[in-house]
Amino acid sequence: MLPIQTRTFPSPLGKIIACATEQGLCLLEFVGSKSVEREQQDLQRLLQREMVVGDNIHLQQTEAELDEYFSGCRKQFGVALHTPSTPFQAAVWQALQTIPYG
């Protein structure tokens, strides 16, 4: 099983940390957030994988789509998500994805 890849990139709102598996984006948070370390630990525990600094297609797509969003060119995101969750949490994620821009 491949490790969770993680990297940071700048945004107009501050530096962002993103984590992704080969299946999709699994964490997006601001660097320095009080909960980011706990969230990374929880993610490693839930997925039973180590986390390493690296890159993959989902991280590249996340950065590109956020750049487009912040420049006003994107209103929907297409990056795949890999969100380990309970059935209720999965239903919430699905509902959130239906909320339109604005």
Q: In this structure, how many other beta carbons lie within 10 angstroms of the beta carbon of residue 28?
A: 16
pLDDT given at position 85: 86
pTM: 0.89
| C-alpha distances out from residue 74 to 37, 63, 68, 85, 102, Å | 29, 12, 5, 27, 12
What are the DSSP E strand ranges found in the chain? Answer: 4-9, 16-20, 25-30, 51-53
Residue 1 has pLDDT above 90, yes or no: no
Structure-token match 């320095």, residue found: 32
Domains and CATH numbers, the chain: 4-96 (3.30.160.70)
Residue 102 has pLDDT above 90, yes or no: no
pLDDT in tens, 14-48: 999 999 999 999 999 999 999 999 999 999 999 99
